[in-house]
């Protein structure tokens, strides 16, 4: 398949882009939602984490306070003990000692205080006997350091006293109530759960007055510091134990917020304090914050999506405009050939229907343009486009191609019905007032091969159209189908083109000359250079075959130059040989006239052989008029100003010969052989009138005449009877002959007549 075509089709603007864009929108929506949710979750987690670290540090402060209270108590009791020690023994039983103890009980809030000896027996501040010798802890007591123990829900400070001689004297014991006033210890911000002091076996040994006295620590099932971010059911969880070691959380019921427990050591006997906090109320604020942040994120996402949609819509509009511009034919305002190509390609690849590509154009459109001007000519194209669009059926396509060329991709069944359809179309075109009088030529290529590009189909349809175009002028339209012969012709043309460069290098092109004779004197007066291609294998290819092929590309320019030079070489040689030479004309194809420097180049070439300019003549065909008329006229003028004669070739074969005679400043008119060939008897008279008047006209304009292709004695006699001195170039006198034979003719004509 044609790559270019493939690319164009792949780049199908707009349609295919929509899909990725919607995917992008959906993806970005998902990503944004995930990001938003994660961000909200992260925010919430951070807030809860922050709150908990705050509570944790409050818990730490509380633990430190408890530690301070205990150590303060102990040092106060120690001070008292030291004072008591100073009293003279055995004044322990005295009123003073009890007064000390009584003071301490009153001012420090102890439940009782007493003194015991190393046997565990003593008295309290009210002078009651005390015996702790049977207490569990008593035997483990250290006689040198303070002990704090818990017994029967009571905290006991036990301070040993030592005298100046470092001898143990007695223990002072203060008993604390197990309920501790919370306002003495708890920070104001702490909420309602209070605190508990636990021994190393996690037994509650004391608790704050706002705590639940029946609290059973062992009933707490630890949740590894895991807290639910908000309502545990919807948001998710966060685990703090990794970061805040003291936090333990517990769920009281599956539907409520957890109770958070913060546990810290109080620095006494591996005891800890745990502070409870119900997360319910305080965390509601967090929930609000969460809602706020979700709302914010949602707004941002919504805004983003709206912007994205606006962007998409604008993009789609721009695409639409671009597509319109891309598929617009600037001449007709309809869809253009690019679109046509894409549609046709798509259909042919689908392979569902049989199609034919029909190319058509208008006869003599250029002339129509010249006569009516471009504005009117464009109106014609617009009208054709309109009728053509109305003519095609569903699943058929059409577009303006270039200049007056149009293409249609029509459903195809057989040749007969296609011909009928095209005739019907031709009638529709002719029925339009603005197209009245125009004739159309159709070329049909049946698109049965998927691998043939649309470009090529169009080329082939055009080729068949052009092949038949000039055949029959009586028809309103010509319809020609691309055939196998045409295909072979194309192959042959390609072959011929390939061989051109080698043929030039190997000098396969040979100079033949056809003599021109004076009609009256029958003497050799001039010659025309005609190329012959003799291939290395000895076979000849007719110029009628290869010249039109070379005319379609640059080859003919090289060949024309080659022929001019060949003639120059011969003329030089003959002159050098002392011969009296005659002017030889060389054909210049219309393609050569595209070069502005043509005249100069010929001048240089001829001068390089030091030839008199009147020895070289140049033949121009009327068809060169169809290209750049101004440039042609300019080049012809230049050539003539350099002293070269210029002839107009095939005069009368074209359609505006008289016009070109008027516009083109020339020296010689070459009457086309068509005037003299294949003429029926009835036409002889007409033809003679035209010939006579053309010769007369030329004579009056001071233009010389050469008659080509005069084949019979009658024609020669008739021309003679006209009385004008013209030249004859025809088989009647001689066919084109190799330059060597022409040399013999010159030599012969140089000999004096007997
Ligand atoms: P043309 O320029 O009109 O050349 C005259 C053609 O008419 C020659 O055909 C010649 O053989 C043929 N002819 C001459 N007298 C008669 C006759 O009495 N009867 C018939 N039936 N034909 C006659 P040729 O040589 O085959 O050339 C055909 C065309 O090819 C030429 O037509 C010319 O247009 C082109 N051509 C030939 N050589 C060259 C060249 O070197 N350069 C260019 N640009 N074109 C060339
Ligand atoms: Ca010629
Ligand atoms: Ca001719």
Instruction: Report pLDDT digits (tens) over 349-361.
Output: 999 999 999 999 9
What is the percent of the chain with per-residue pLDDT over 90, rounded to a whole number? 40
pLDDT of residue 474: 62
pLDDT of residue 455: 94
Task: Give the pLDDT band (50/70/90) at residue 308.
Answer: confident
Highest mean pLDDT among 126-130, 619-623, 673-677, 721-725: 721-725
Check whether 437 has a pLDDT greater than 90.
no
Check whether 400 has a pLDDT greater than 70.
yes
> Of all atoms in ligand 1, which is nearest to the CA of residue 736?
11
Cα–ligand 2 centroid distance for 463 (angstroms)? 25
H helices of 506-621, where?
A: 543-551, 555-576, 598-608
pLDDT of residue 388: 97
Ligand 1 contact via 544 beta carbon (within 6 Å): yes
CA 519 to chain centroid, in Å, comes to: 73
Cα–ligand 2 centroid distance for 613 (angstroms)? 19
Check whether 205 has a pLDDT greater than 60.
yes
Highest mean pLDDT among 67-71, 304-308, 718-722: 718-722
What span, in angstroms and rounded, lies between the C-alpha atoms of 170 and 118? 6
Give the model confidence (pLDDT) of 279-297 as tens digits: 654 555 666 666 777 788 7
Give the model confidence (pLDDT) of 476-487 as tens digits: 778 999 988 888
Check whether 98 has a pLDDT greater than 50.
yes
Ligand 1 contact via 709 beta carbon (within 6 Å): yes
**Which bound ligand lies closest to the C-alpha atom of 650?**
3
H helices of 392-505, where?
A: 415-431, 454-468, 484-505
Ligand 1 contact via 547 beta carbon (within 6 Å): yes
Check whether 461 has a pLDDT greater than 90.
yes
Instruction: Tell me which of 532, 543, 736 to substitute to probe ligand 1's pocket, judged by most ligand atoms within 8 Å of the beta carbon.
Output: 543
Six token digits for residue 548: 């039109």
531 or 553: which leads in pLDDT: 531
pLDDT of residue 718: 93
In this prediction, residues 360-371 reach a mean pLDDT of 88
**Which bound ligand lies closest to the C-alpha atom of 729?**
1
In our burial notation (b when 16+ CB lie closer than 10 A, e otherwise), range 442-456 reads: bbbbbbeeeebbbee
pLDDT of residue 753: 59
Q: By three-state DSSP, how is residue 526 classified?
A: strand
Ligand 1 contact via 711 beta carbon (within 6 Å): yes
In this prediction, residues 608-630 reach a mean pLDDT of 90
What span, in angstroms and rounded, lies between the C-alpha atoms of 419 and 410? 12
pLDDT of residue 13: 42
67 or 232: which leads in pLDDT: 67
C-alpha to C-alpha distances, 612 to 124, 581, 584, 743, nearest whole angstrom: 159, 11, 12, 18
pLDDT of residue 607: 97
- Residue 14: exposed, middle, or buried by beta-carbon count in 10 A (0-12, 13-18, 19+)? middle
Ligand 1 contact via 560 beta carbon (within 6 Å): yes
Ligand 1 contact via 566 beta carbon (within 6 Å): no
Check whether 252 has a pLDDT greater than 60.
no
Task: Give the pLDDT band (50/70/90) at residue 629.
Answer: confident
Angle (CA) 554-558-564 rounded to 5° is: 140
Lowest-confidence pick of 14-18, 159-163, 256-260, 659-663: 14-18
274 or 668: which leads in pLDDT: 668
Angle (CA) 734-736-740 rounded to 5° is: 100
In our burial notation (b when 16+ CB lie closer than 10 A, e otherwise), range 392-412 reads: eeeebbbbbbeebbbbbbbbb
Least Cα distance to 204 among 144, 264, 304, 271 occurs for: 271
Q: By three-state DSSP, how is residue 252 classified?
A: coil
This prediction has a pTM of 0.51
> Of all atoms in ligand 1, which is nearest to the CA of residue 731?
18
pLDDT of residue 242: 54
Task: Give the pLDDT band (50/70/90) at residue 5.
Answer: very low
Ligand 1 contact via 589 beta carbon (within 6 Å): yes
Write down the mean pLDDT value for the chain.
83
Give the model confidence (pLDDT) of 492-528 as tens digits: 888 999 999 999 999 999 999 999 999 999 999 999 9
Cα–ligand 1 centroid distance for 702 (angstroms)? 25
pLDDT of residue 575: 97
- In order, the DSSP letters of 598-618 are HHHHHHHHHHHTT--GGGEEE
Greatest CA span in the chain, whole angstroms?
192
**Are 197 and 204 within 8 A, CB to CB?**
yes
pLDDT of residue 10: 41
pLDDT of residue 12: 44
Check whether 106 has a pLDDT greater than 50.
yes
Ligand 1 contact via 636 beta carbon (within 6 Å): no
Angle (CA) 195-197-198 rounded to 5° is: 130
Ligand 1 contact via 549 beta carbon (within 6 Å): no
Tell the residue number behind the tokens 């123990």, with chain if given: 149
What is the percent of the chain with per-residue pLDDT over 70, rounded to a whole number? 83
Check whether 635 has a pLDDT greater than 80.
yes
Going by CA atoms, what residue is nearest to atom 21 of ligand 1?
709
In this prediction, residues 86-111 reach a mean pLDDT of 74
Going by CA atoms, what residue is nearest to atom 8 of ligand 1?
530
pLDDT of residue 625: 76
Cα–ligand 1 centroid distance for 531 (angstroms)? 9
Lowest-confidence pick of 86-95, 350-359, 395-404, 533-542: 86-95
pLDDT of residue 229: 44
Going by CA atoms, what residue is nearest to atom 28 of ligand 1?
544
Give the model confidence (pLDDT) of 114-158 as tens digits: 888 888 888 888 888 888 888 888 888 888 888 888 877 788 888
pLDDT of residue 33: 75
Give the model confidence (pLDDT) of 704-741 as tens digits: 999 999 999 999 999 999 999 999 999 999 999 999 99
**Which bound ligand lies closest to the C-alpha atom of 670?**
3
**Are 648 and 668 within 8 A, CB to CB?**
yes
Q: What is the phi/psi pair of residue 499, to 5°?
A: -85, -10
pLDDT of residue 232: 43
Check whether 475 has a pLDDT greater than 90.
no
**Which bound ligand lies closest to the C-alpha atom of 710?**
1
Lowest-confidence pick of 178-187, 388-397, 732-741: 178-187
Going by CA atoms, what residue is nearest to atom 15 of ligand 1?
730
Instruction: Tell me which of 508, 515, 530, 673 to substitute to probe ligand 1's pocket, judged by most ligand atoms within 8 Å of the beta carbon.
Output: 530
What span, in angstroms and rounded, lies between the C-alpha atoms of 751 and 754? 9
pLDDT of residue 89: 53
193 or 237: which leads in pLDDT: 193
Ligand 1 contact via 347 beta carbon (within 6 Å): no
pLDDT of residue 1: 43
Cα–ligand 3 centroid distance for 140 (angstroms)? 144
Check whether 449 has a pLDDT greater than 80.
yes
Contact partners, residue 16, CB within 8 Å, separation at least 6: none
> Of all atoms in ligand 1, which is nearest to the CA of residue 650?
3
In this prediction, residues 428-433 reach a mean pLDDT of 92
pLDDT of residue 293: 73
pLDDT of residue 230: 42
What span, in angstroms and rounded, lies between the C-alpha atoms of 396 and 198? 94
Cα–ligand 2 centroid distance for 586 (angstroms)? 7
Task: Give the pLDDT band (50/70/90) at residue 223.
Answer: low
Task: Give the pLDDT band (50/70/90) at residue 15.
Answer: very low
Going by CA atoms, what residue is nearest to atom 43 of ligand 1?
587
Q: What is the phi/psi pair of residue 15, to 5°?
A: -50, -55
Going by CA atoms, what residue is nearest to atom 12 of ligand 1?
709
pLDDT of residue 605: 97
> Of all atoms in ligand 1, which is nearest to the CA of residue 529?
41
Check whether 298 has a pLDDT greater than 60.
yes
C-beta atoms surrounding 519 within 10 Å:
21
In our burial notation (b when 16+ CB lie closer than 10 A, e otherwise), range 247-269 reads: bbbebeeeeebbbbbbbbebebe
């Amino acid at each position: 398949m044609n790559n270019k075509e493939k690319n164009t089709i792949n780049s199908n603007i707009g349609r295919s882009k929509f899909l990725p864009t919607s995917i992008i929108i959906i993806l970005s929506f998902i990503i944004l939602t995930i990001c938003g949710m994660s961000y909200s979750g992260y925010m919430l987690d951070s807030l809860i984490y922050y709150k908990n670290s705050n509570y944790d540090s409050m818990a730490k402060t509380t633990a430190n306070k408890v530690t301070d209270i205990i150590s303060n108590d102990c040092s106060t009791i120690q001070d008292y003990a030291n004072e008591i020690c100073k009293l003279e023994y055995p004044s322990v039983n005295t009123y003073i000692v009890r007064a000390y103890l009584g003071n301490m009980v009153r001012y420090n809030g102890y439940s009782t205080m007493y003194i015991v000896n190393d046997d565990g027996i003593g008295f309290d501040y009210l002078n009651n006997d005390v015996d702790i010798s049977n207490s569990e802890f008593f035997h483990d007591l250290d006689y040198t350091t303070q002990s704090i123990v818990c017994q029967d829900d009571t905290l006991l400070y036990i301070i040993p006293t030592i005298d100046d001689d470092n001898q143990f004297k007695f223990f002072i014991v203060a008993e604390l109530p197990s309920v501790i006033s919370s306002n003495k210890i708890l920070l104001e911000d702490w909420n309602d759960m209070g605190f508990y002091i636990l021994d190393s076996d996690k037994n509650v040994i004391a608790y704050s007055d706002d705590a639940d006295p029946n609290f059973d620590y062992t009933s707490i099932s630890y949740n590894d510091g895991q807290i639910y971010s908000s309502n545990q059911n919807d948001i998710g969880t966060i685990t703090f134990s990794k970061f805040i070691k003291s936090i333990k959380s517990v769920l009281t019921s599956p539907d409520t917020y957890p109770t958070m427990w913060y546990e810290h050591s109080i620095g006494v006997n591996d005891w800890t304090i745990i502070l409870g906090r119900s997360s319910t109320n305080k965390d509601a604020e967090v929930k609000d914050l969460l809602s706020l942040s979700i709302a914010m994120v949602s707004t941002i996402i919504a805004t983003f999506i709206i912007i994205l949609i606006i962007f998409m819509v604008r993009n789609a509009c721009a695409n639409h405009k671009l597509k319109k511009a891309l598929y617009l034919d600037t001449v007709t305002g309809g869809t253009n050939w690019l679109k046509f190509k894409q549609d046709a390609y798509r259909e042919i690849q689908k392979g569902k229907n049989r199609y034919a590509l029909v190319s058509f154009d208008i006869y003599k459109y250029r002339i129509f343009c010249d006569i009516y001007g471009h504005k009117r000519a464009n109106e014609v194209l617009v009208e054709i486009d309109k009728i053509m669009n109305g003519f095609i059926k569903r699943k058929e396509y059409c577009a303006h191609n270039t200049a007056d060329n149009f293409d249609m991709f029509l459903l195809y069944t057989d040749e007969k019905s296609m011909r009928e359809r095209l005739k019907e179309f031709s009638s529709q075109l002719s029925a339009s007032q603005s197209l009245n009088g125009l004739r159309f030529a159709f070329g049909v290529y049946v698109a049965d091969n998927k691998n043939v590009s649309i470009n090529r189909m169009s080329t082939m349809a055009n080729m068949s159209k052009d092949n038949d175009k000039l055949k029959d002028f009586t028809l309103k339209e010509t319809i020609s189908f691309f055939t196998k012969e045409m295909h072979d012709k194309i192959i042959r043309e390609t072959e011929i083109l390939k061989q051109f460069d080698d043929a030039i290098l190997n000098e396969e092109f040979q100079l033949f000359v056809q003599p021109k004779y004076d009609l009256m004197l029958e003497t050799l007066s001039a010659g025309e250079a005609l190329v012959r291609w003799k291939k290395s294998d000895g076979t000849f290819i007719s110029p009628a075959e290869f010249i039109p092929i070379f005319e379609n590309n640059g080859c003919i320019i090289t060949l024309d130059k080659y022929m001019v030079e060949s003639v120059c070489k011969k003329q030089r040689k003959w002159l050098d040989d002392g011969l009296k030479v005659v002017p030889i004309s060389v054909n210049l194809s219309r393609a050569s006239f595209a070069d502005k420097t043509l005249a100069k180049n010929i001048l240089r070439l001829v001068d390089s052989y030091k030839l008199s300019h009147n020895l070289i003549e140049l033949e121009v065909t009327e068809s060169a008029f169809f290209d750049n008329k101004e440039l042609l006229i300019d080049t012809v003028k230049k050539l003539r100003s350099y002293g070269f004669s210029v002839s107009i070739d095939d005069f009368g074969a074209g359609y505006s010969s008289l016009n070109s005679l008027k516009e083109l400043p020339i020296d010689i008119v070459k009457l086309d052989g068509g005037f003299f060939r294949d003429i029926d008897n009835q036409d002889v008279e007409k033809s003679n009138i035209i010939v006579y008047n053309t010769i007369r006209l030329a004579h009056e304009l001071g233009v010389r005449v050469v008659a080509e292709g005069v084949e019979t004695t009658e024609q020669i006699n008739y021309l003679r009877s006209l009385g004008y001195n013209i030249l004859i170039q025809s088989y009647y006198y001689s066919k084109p002959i190799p330059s060597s034979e022409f040399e013999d003719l010159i030599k012969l004509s140089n000999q004096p007549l007997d």
